[in-house]
A and B are shown apart, each in its own frame.
Chain A
């Protein structure tokens, strides 16, 4: 039973990583690629960590996995927001289908 749960968690995590890889190859501008990578890969790491905890349960492993999860969830959005802000400052254009640019509107207002 445990083996099945671990297998399903690992396969789900790999599929999310595959979605991130597909996103970085296929999407059109840097903001969209960041959106694909950040969310999909952190969710994939969380699923892998759950698989490790279910397969090799001990309190030390649980604590380590909890710490990794906490750092991933807390730091990945911060880093990607900083890089998105910098690429907006550098003036990297959005792709043609983009509808709204709230940061530019705010800067125009003052």
Chain B
């Protein structure tokens, strides 16, 4: 906490936790389905941010692969949800 890097790491963790709470608020309140889908994006970004902060804090650079996999899976999830909703709209 006394060094600039320690302060930056603590600050980053506080901001990322606030992002999780904001996502939870919108997930519970969001009036429509796409509101709830775009929350996935924010949660994934916050998780990747926490992993990258963890890499800077501990020096275990192998965990950058986790961020890579999360980036890929979130894209798949978003596209799958979009296709599903599109099909639901077209059938009505």
Contact = CB atoms under 8 A, between A and B. Distances in A.
SS of B interface (majority): helix
Interface in A54-110: 55-56, 58, 60-61, 64-65, 67-68, 71-72, 75-76, 78-80, 82-87, 89-90, 92
Could you say which interface size class chain B belongs to?
A: 35 or more
Interface in B68-91: 68, 71-72, 74-75, 78-79, 81-82, 85-86, 89
Contact of A79 (B12, B16, B49, B78): B78
B22 A83 contact: no
A83 B34 contact: yes
B35 to A, nearest CB: 5
B42 A11 contact: no
Interface string B25-68: 11000001111011101100110110011011001010011011
Given A30-B34, A83-B81, A44 B45 contact: yes
Contacts of B86: 85-86, 89
